[in-house]
Structure 1
Amino acid sequence: MNKRFRHRRQTFTLSGILLGLLLALSSCSFPGVVSTSEQLPQVNQAEPTPQLPPIHFPQDEGAHNKLTEWWYYTGHLNATSGDGKTHHYGFEMVIFQALRSNLPPVYASHFAISDITRGEFHYDQRRRVVSSAAIPDGTSTQGINVNVGDWSIRGLDGHDHLAASMKDYTVDLNLLARKEPVLHNKDGLITYGLAGYSYYYSRTNMEISGTIIDHGQHMNVTGKAWMDHQWGNFLTLGSGGWDWFSLQFKDNTEIMLYFIRDASGKILSTYIGYIDAQARDYLIPAQALQTSVLGSWTSPQTHITYPSGWKLTINDQHVQATLTITPQLKDQELVVYPSTGNVYWEGAVSISGQLNEKPVDGEGYIELTGYAPKTA
């Protein structure tokens, strides 16, 4: 890769190189997985732990000197307007950081609002190059402090702040973690085989307060968010895809699961984590899960067909569940070629069913990538 970039340096401008780097980050819209054509090991409790330093807080909340890093937030907002009308929204906000060789840091960001009340989906994207920025070293105790223009993420010890705006929508959100962070795979290290290792933790239950400006109307909001932070020296190796689910239930429990697929659609790896009401994290074996797709949706813009609606069944000693998951809007597709070189579906969903022998409902977010038709 370095040789390729040296060749580009000779033939293209610096901005061209940096745009190429951003395109290389096309998989970074997914919190937790990279696409690869190589076989990935199954994530399970018997997997050996690499000899890497453990996660430390608050130092590891901030930026690191690693190839790839992101801070990723999704959630649901509730508001009441002056006329007494209730409003419901989903939102996504993410900032990616890319460090390559001696090039300046590159940042990209996506901000999306699922306006469930209006039945509309809106998003925007940004990118920037910070030519004079100091390279982060992962030792700061000041927490998260990243921005792309006036879109910003700040946070320390589970007290986070998000600010972003686009046409017709502005959010100013305070997030308070109600549980300790979950270190995925128990130690916060996920392996991708030849693609490398990544640190990965989530704050699965964050209480939201703040404001939204919706078409000029200023409203206070409450809600719940999910936060992912991932970093490491890993890169995309192939052209597969993934389905990622973050599920938050009204009984104060959460489930995260994802499937990594190769270019043919074959599932290479499955991860399932269940977080109980006391914030205990259980790693669930892949064989405990059964899934079925209930429908599909075809984008009128990209003509990509995505699954739309799911039934999940989990049968394990720690969690038994039968869940139906329904998109709150069919169209929640982001076409973000200028910022990260890719297209994906990420949207708010509703959940109903049975969890540990009790009726349950909730909300969540699902991300779908790699569904574009493969070209020869």
Structure 2
Amino acid sequence: MSKHWKKLPWIIAGILVLIGLLNPPLLPWILLILVSAAYWFLPRRGLIGPVTLPADDAFLPSQQVQWWYWTGHLFTDDGRRFGFEVVFFSFDAFVIMRDQLVQAAITDVNGQRFEFEEFLRLHLPKRVKDGFDLSSGAGNQVTAVGGDGHDRLHAQIGNYTLDLKLDSTQQPALHYGGDAHPYRFGGYTYYYSRPKMATTGTLTIDGQTFQVTGNSWFDRQYGELFQAIRQGWQWFAIELEDNRQIMLFDFKGNDSSVEKSGSITDANGLTTTLAAHEFEVTVTGEWTSPNTGCTYPSGWEIVVKGEKFTVEPLVKDQELRANHDLWIGPVYWEGACGVGGAVAGQAYVELNGYCKCLAAKLP
């Protein structure tokens, strides 16, 4: 169906509402017709059964909130180290909010630099069977094409340009057993990862191109997630040198509804759920943003089943701030980290909900 035909229902609805405004006695009947049509023809909301792959790599119109999320650690031939993030968010709250937020960031560890870009698209992603074809819009500054564990990413971030090929080397990690997980504070999620994606490609910096290799972590999450976003969290994607991967969600809050969740994937690719009592996250330091004045955790001690790890940011300032005039936010910290302790490794950490000030938009 062409993009013009997709607009037809909205045009018809607009004409009917206009007729009702011109002839007020008809307005209640027109509204009843529109509500009935929406009920019968719009996608049904709610649970859809366990994760099914690769079908659920695709945009799922039945889910309010969903994202495709890549983070990774890259190295050049001469040993320079970089982290990257590419994420496509989709929000569908009926007529009120139907949009995509696209973000990309690069962490230049040796240069102690952090750059990011953000794009807002006022429509939902197109549907692609068993995969995705995502773009930031005009100019295609950020794109993600693929599915079933074979992805291609392109991102222009300031003076940095990434072109990457990602291939999963083990089976997906299905969190919560691959089924819907209800949150005690409201809403639910489906969540799976491909935590070990061999990554090759190029990184161009100020016109000079470098070959890069490394590993990427892909997260796919969808469901009724507005409540979780409001709650805020610390999220850890930890890759250990002994070929294990650990995912931890440590939700923020001071009441009994707050929860923790996690999983650990062993060297053979087998994923098991971590109960809340099996891990503990302790903040060991803080960092205050000079751009927003917001304070974030910056350094952690993590104990998982008796094993103790330390996680430290490789660059202190890895804060993403909204740069669109259409809205204020989101503001959060997401960055590349080093891992020490029982086993060395690398990690990506996301801190959501620590900055909610309106001043975050100000230069």
TM range (shorter): 0.7 to 0.9
Contact 1:240/1:265 (<8 A) preserved:
no
Partner residue of 1:19? none
Alignment partners' CA distance in 2, 1:179 and 1:288:
25
CA distance in 2, matches of 1:123, 1:76: 16
1:76 CA drift (Å): 0.5
Aligned to 2:219: 228
Matched, 1:261 2:247: no
Count of aligned pairs between the two proteins: 310
Cα displacement string for residues 30-64 of structure 1 (whole angstroms, at most 9, x for unaligned residues): xxxxxxxxxxxxxxxxxxxx974222122111101
In the TM superposition, what whole-angstrom CA distance separates every residue of 1:320-350 from its partner, at most 9, and x where no partner exists?
A: 4110111101111111262772110110000
Does the 8 Å CA contact 2:187/2:228 hold for their aligned counterparts? no
Query: What residue number does 1:212 align with?
Result: 203
Change (3 A) 1:218 1:301: same
Are the structure 2 counterparts of residues 340 and 348 from structure 1 closer, same or farther at C-alpha, using a change threshold of 3 Å?
farther
| Pair 1:331-2:338 in alignment | no
User: Of residues 170, 174, 177 in structure 1, which corresponds to 2:168?
Assistant: 177
Q: Are 1:109 and 2:105 matched, yes or no? A: no
> Helix, strand or coil: the match of 1:236?
helix
**Residues 258 and 142 of structure 1, relative CA distance in 2, 3 Å threshold:** closer
Matching of residues 137-286 of structure 1 within 5 Å: 140-149=128-137, 150=140, 151-193=142-184, 195-236=186-227, 239-262=230-253, 264=254, 268-286=258-276
Q: Is the 8 A contact 1:202 1:226 kept in 2?
A: yes
Matches within 5 A, 1:1-376: 52-65=48-61, 66-80=63-77, 85-102=78-95, 105-130=98-123, 136=127, 140-149=128-137, 150=140, 151-193=142-184, 195-236=186-227, 239-262=230-253, 264=254, 268-315=258-305, 320-336=306-322, 338=324, 341-354=329-342, 360-372=343-355
Structural RMSD (CA): 2.6
- Look up the match of 1:32: none
> TM-score, normalization: structure 2?
0.79
Letter in 1 for 2:345: G
Distance 1:237 1:205 in 2: 26
The aligned residue for residue 37 of structure 1 is none
- What's the CA shift for 1:108? 1.1
- Partner of 2:178: helix, strand, or coil? coil
Q: 1:371 to 1:267 in 2, by over 3 A?
A: farther
SS in 2 for 1:54: coil
CA 1:284–1:213 in 2, change beyond 3 Å: closer, same or farther?
same
* 5+ residue gaps, structure 1: 1-5, 11-49, 355-359
Asked whether the 8 Å contact 2:229–2:352 carries over to 1, the reply is no
Q: Which moved more, 1:151-160 or 1:344-353?
A: 151-160
| 1:197, distance to aligned residue in structure 2 (A) | 2.0
What one-letter code is carried by the residue in structure 2 that aligns with 1:270? K
8 Å CA contact retained: 1:239, 1:370: yes
- For 2:277, the aligned partner's letter is Q
| 1:86-143 Cα distance to aligned partner (Å, 9 max, x none) | 3110001101112232578411111000000101111110111248x76x4xxx5341
Aligned residue in 1 for 2:32: none
Could you state the TM-score of these two structures normalised by the residue count of structure 1? 0.76
Q: Which amino acid aligns with 1:199?
A: Y
Q: Deviations over 1:212-271 (max 9, x none)?
A: 101211011100010101112442378432100000011111000011123x58881001
SS in 1 for 2:56: helix
Looking at structure 1, the residues matched to 268 and 329 of structure 2 have their Cα atoms a distance apart, in angstroms, of 40
Q: 1:374 to 1:112 in 2, by over 3 A?
A: closer
Q: 1:241 to 1:116 in 2, by over 3 A?
A: same
- Kept in 1, the 8 Å contact 2:172–2:193? The answer is yes
Distance (Å, rounded) in 1 between the aligned partners of 2:257 and 2:217: 25
Give the conservation status (yes or no) of the 8 Å contact 1:78–1:87.
yes
SS class of match (2:320):
strand
Residue 189 of structure 1, CA deviation: 2.1
Shifted more, 173-182 versus 286-295: the winner is 286-295
> Are the counterparts in 1 of residues 49 and 180 from structure 2 also a CA contact under 8 Å?
no
Answer whether contact 1:328 1:348 (CA < 8 A) is retained.
yes
Percent sequence identity over matched residues? 34
In 2, Cα distance between the equivalents of 1:234 and 1:294?
A: 29
Looking at secondary structure, tell me which structure has more helix per residue.
2
Corresponding letter in the other structure for 2:315: L
One-letter code of the match for 2:54? P
Query: Once structures 1 and 2 are overlaid, which stretch shifts more, 212-221 or 233-242?
Result: 233-242
Q: Residue 25 of structure 1 aligns with which residue?
A: none
Preserved CA contact (<8 Å) 2:184 2:257? no
Q: After TM superposition, which residue ranges in structure 1, 4 or more long, deviate above 6 angstroms? A: none
